[in-house]
Amino acid sequence: MILSIESSCDDSSIAITEILTLKLLFYKKISQNEEHSKYGGVVPELASRLHVEALPKLLQDAEKYFKNLKAIAVTNAPGLTVSLLEGVAMAKSISIALNIPLIAVNHLKGHIYSLFIEKEATFPFLALLISGGHSQLVEVNGWNNFKVVLSTLDDSLGESFDKVAKMLGLSYPGGAIIENLAINGDEYKYNFPVPLLYSNQTAFSFSGLKNSVRLTIEKEIEINDEVRQNISASFQRVATEHIILQIKRYLNLKENKNRYKFLGVVGGVSANLYIRNKLLDLLNKYKMDLIAPELKFCSDNGAMIGRFGIELYRTNEFINLQDLKVMSRANL
């Protein structure tokens, strides 16, 4: 079995996965949403202190599996340094105590492998990674063969959801709150401009849209529930139209015709059912399938870290205690 630890931002999570069968034997997560909510975003120092409380608690619950452990996989990049350090420090201690090797997992690869929790991966495919920290379209041509073909010029999609929520006086994280408010809103009430509609750039960009939402909110005399619903629905529609337009531009390139049979959507924002449905409509036109993780594995979790950790275990990609470092920035 492999023990996996995730602490890159504001979720502490641990999983135990059986290496041969990929079966998830144990999975737990403690989120810090409530604690950060009053500050309107993640406070790194607070996140770090909360990991120190949560991680040992989670570990205790998994104690009965310790005798069967063959390796420990831990997220070491990218993320908040002070958060990553807590998971990595714990992984190193267990590695010494149980005399088992360490595996360093890139958080973004973990997200992509959330598609294959309890199952084998098949290639090639396209991955749309939409989270609080990232917005990327990735060609995945092999188990460790990732090529980013579309990324954001400015903010990430998750961050934009959170910012819009904050501007509307809603709590953090705002993604799911905006999605729920949008259900009862008029998505054509506000005509926010679709980013990069009139440029032929193939990229994501959300800062202009965020700014349009801000200007609209400033103009409204009263921000009541109806306004919140309409702004949420209009923002979500335009942000989604933008993503769909950009993926379409990529798929329409001659070299990409019929190249991929499916697209996997991952990351916290992939829990959004409105976005999933619009992706489905788009992919239908290209005779492609959509795959997505179970809702509980869209946001940060230890199970996806264990799943990619097993790929690294299979190829003996272990790392020495002294070489295992954390990095706030890292690419796929």
Closer CB to ligand KG4, 246 or 301, in the complex: 301
Strands (E), 143-180: 145-151
Calpha distance 209→195 (Å, rounded): 7
Task: List, in sequence order, every residue forming a beta bridge with 276; answer none if it has no partner.
Answer: none
Site string for ligand KG4, 201-220 (x = CB under 6 A): --------------------
Instruction: Choose among ligand KG4, Zn ion, none what residue 272 binds, the Cβ cut-off being 5 to 8 Å by kind.
Output: ligand KG4
Q: Rule CB under 6 A: choose which of 12, 91, 110, 133 binds ligand KG4.
A: 133
Contacts of 80 (CB under 8 A, 6+ apart): 8, 9, 42, 44, 47, 48, 328
Sheet with 71-77: strands ordered across: 24-31, 11-17, 2-6, 71-77, 102-106
162 touches Zn ion by CB under 5 A: no
Half-sphere exposure of 153 (CA within 13 A, CB side): 12
Q: Contacts with Zn ion in 301-330 (CB under 5 A)?
A: none
In the structure encoding, which two tokens stand for residue 140, read together?
């995945």
Q: Is 131 in the site for Zn ion (CB under 5 A)?
A: yes
Site string for ligand KG4, 258-287 (x = CB under 6 A): ---------xxx-xx---------------
Q: Is 10 in the site for Zn ion (CB under 5 A)?
A: no
User: Which C-beta is closer to ligand KG4: that of 155 or that of 311?
Assistant: 155
Query: Is the Cβ of residue 110 or residue 309 nearer to ligand KG4 in the bound state?
Result: 110
How far is 45 from 26, CA to CA, in rounded Å? 28
Residues that bind ligand KG4 (CB under 6 A): 9, 131-133, 158-159, 161-162, 173-176, 179, 267-269, 271-272, 299-300
